[in-house]
Amino acid sequence: MSIKQPNKRNIRKNLLRRFEGQFDLNRLDYSRRSKPAKDIAKVVGVIFAGGIYLIGFGLAYYSWTQKSIDTIMLNTFAFIFMIPATVVGLFAFLLSGNRREFPIHEDICAHVAAFEGADGTLWRYEPLLKQMVLKKIDIEELIKASREGRLIKMAPEDICTTLHALYQNLSSNSAFTNTEILEAIENNFTGRAEAA
């Protein structure tokens, strides 16, 4: 009597079900969720910059109409007031953007804390994660942080990008997901469950 080995498709389906049960990918879509906040922050920055410039130019124009300054001085003030207006607008943009992204950041961190738990979850996908190459993301550090239970301290943008790429690789028939890698991931989950 032969022992029936699970095939690649069944392992993939089981891993996808487990992945979709653990991670809420809509909640972890940082770029989609933060885009409206960034757009509003840009508008706030432009409004502040425009307001500062209009105040400065208005004062210079009023002085020019009262013959307190000449035309050359009015032109000089028109250019000089661009500097503080730009600085204030940039500061308003950064401050507004950070304040608007903070609740999104906190929500993602709460979700990361929920799925990571005490034992960690992301490191269990290590065989597939090590095959992936993502720009500007240190996957080895994410795996290490997940094993040590400090993934929540990592950048949420990196975690979100990694999880979306991981889901894409699991759901597609890419060259990364061969049977050995899928079985190794499955063993990471079952080995931990049997030890508990």
Distance, CA of 44 to chain centre: 22
**What is the pLDDT at residue 2?**
46
Q: Highest-confidence range of 4-8, 10-14, 94-98, by mean pLDDT? A: 94-98
Domain ranges of the chain: 33-103, 117-190
Summarised one tens digit per residue, pLDDT across range 72-121 is 999 999 999 999 999 999 999 999 999 999 999 999 989 988 888 777 88
Query: Above 50 in pLDDT, residue 185?
Result: yes
